[in-house]
Amino acid sequence: IPEQLGDTAPQTKETVAKLLNMTVEEIDQKLAAKWVKPNYLVPIGILPEGATQNTYIDLPGVATKPVNVRSYPLGEAAAHLTGYIGKVNAEDLKTLQKKGYQADDPVGKAGLEQVLEEQLRGKKGGRVFVEDAQGKEIKNLAKTEAVDGENVTLTIDSAVQFEIYNEMKNEAGSSAAINPKTGETIALVSTPAYNPNTLTRGASKAQRDAVNNDPKKPMTNRFTQLSVPGSVFKPITAAIGLETKTIDPKEELKIEGLKWTKDSSWGNYYVTRVKDANPIDFDKAMKYSDNIYFAQEALKIGKDKFMSEAKKFGFDEKLPIEYGFPASKIANDGIKNDIQMADTGYGQGQVLMTPLHLALTYAPIVNDGNIPSPYIIKTDKQPKVWKENVISKGNQDILKTAMTKVINDPDGTGKIAKIDGKTLAGKTGTAELKVSKEAEGKELGWFAAFDLNSPDMVITMMIEDVKGRGGSNIPAEKVKHVFQK
């Protein structure tokens, strides 16, 4: 209250600024607003989490009053999912003023708060009346009742969301978990994250700058970003090969050494693998994550057939879910040549996916061949099928067997994720990010898995920059811990 600040105004402002994580300049800006009168109570800020109003009681010219504040119980663990609300600013008003918003109104700034703004917002109420000279109301002219926003219940399992975040919080990466039978989204995680409670209560410029300038980019939502999947894509190549009868799971391919090139037309380009297995069949190729096997099988399938079959898995389509996700891609403008086709077979080339779409592509293996329609808002309606009859029953069984060996055989690439008493099936992946075969580049570590005997959850996880520190073992161990909880 400006007129009550008195001679101690500078000290009071300093104290309040410190308590609210603000600057004195920011307080002065609020007090200098055109609408402010000397006897007005001017809102300065909302108490930080954990602070009490007792601190302010003895400060001259400072008063407190209770206000409703949006609270995010999971904090950082669901920050990119829930998003946060903030005050309408001058930039927002350019588009929102025509919808009835005014400066400083609350509005969704990110995440579901932004996506579901119209449902969550509600409508203001108000009254127009006439007063006499003494300030007594003498006539009511008009009244509009306030309308509460809708209640929205999510399919997210907060325990799973928190466990995945807890595993990932010291890494940069993303994760998704779905029920492969219903399409319910169980978790969507992006790390590092920010605290939406801090931003909603009104972060100081210093706090905002610290988050925005953090090199780890905690404001970036990674679970909506497209990334190179690497070898977690191989079950999709396998399914396409099996469905088109191009892959014979019993056939043994004769592959010598750790490098392979199709012929002289490839020049110095070659495909590499880690384990020298010769001959190699389907189960071994999946278990050892053999790039050469999947490159050769992709070439047999051919680019036209591969592209048309990939569409059955939802590539080049936006996911039919309330939250905005970009469409996963096999290629930017078709598969141009055999080298790109070979690389596509093991999830390189121009293949890009989100972790949620990856989880959905694994769903038909345990959901009678169907991909469910994903959703994040709870509903009484029956689950829908997004893509029907993607994988036949016999081929589902072939994939289950091979993907079980990835984790449960002592020489499988995912053996670190083996859990006594459970039978996990899944796939590891290490995606290379580089401009040429010879160049050095960063690596993404991927892992995707489900419990074969209780397939009510598929978890996918991607961790950035894993080269030289464990590769796909990093996400594999983290996903294992989530399944153990």
pLDDT, position 45: 78
pTM attached to this predicted model: 0.89
Give, in degrees to the nearest 5, the angle at Cα 54 between 48 and 56.
75
Provide the CA 218 distance to its chain's centre, in angstroms.
12
Residue 380 CB: number of other CB atoms within 10 A? 4
List domains and CATH numbers for the chain. 1-67 (3.30.1390), 158-484 (3.40.710.10)
Nearest to 320 by CA among 190, 221, 185, 188: 185
- Give the separation between CA 111 and CA 77, rounded to whole angstroms: 13
**Alpha-carbon distance 232 to 358, whole Å?**
8
Quick one: pLDDT at residue 388?
98
Bridging pattern class, strands 137-144 and 173-178: unpaired
Q: In whole angstroms, give the CA distance from residue 274 to residue 296.
A: 16
> What CA–CA distance (Å, rounded) separates 371 from 381?
17
DSSP assignment letter at 154: B
The residue annotated as part of the active site, out of 174, 175, 231, 328, is 231
For residues 269 and 261, the answer to whether their CB atoms sit within 8 Å is: yes
The residue behind tokens 């972060």 is: 203
Q: What are phi and psi of 374, to 5 degrees?
A: -75, 145
Contacts 24+ apart (CB under 8 A), 38-44: 38/1, 38/2, 38/3, 39/1, 39/2, 39/3, 40/1, 40/2, 41/1, 41/65, 42/1, 42/2, 44/16, 44/20
Is 335:306 a contact under the CB 8 Å cutoff?
Answer: yes
Is 158 noted as a catalytic residue in this protein? no
**Six-digit token string for 240:** 């396409």
Q: Give me the tens of pLDDT residue by residue for the chain, a chain 485 residues long.
A: 888 888 888 888 888 888 887 888 888 888 888 888 888 888 887 777 766 666 666 788 888 777 778 899 999 999 999 999 988 888 888 888 888 888 878 899 999 999 999 899 877 777 888 888 877 888 888 888 888 888 999 999 999 999 999 999 999 999 999 999 999 999 999 999 999 998 888 777 777 888 889 999 999 999 999 999 999 999 999 999 999 999 999 999 999 999 999 999 999 999 999 999 999 999 999 999 999 999 999 999 999 999 999 999 999 999 999 999 999 999 999 999 999 999 999 999 999 999 999 999 999 999 999 999 999 999 999 999 999 999 999 999 999 999 999 999 999 999 999 999 999 999 999 998 866 666 678 999 999 999 999 999 999 999 999 999 999 999 999 999 999 98
SS3 at position 47 = coil
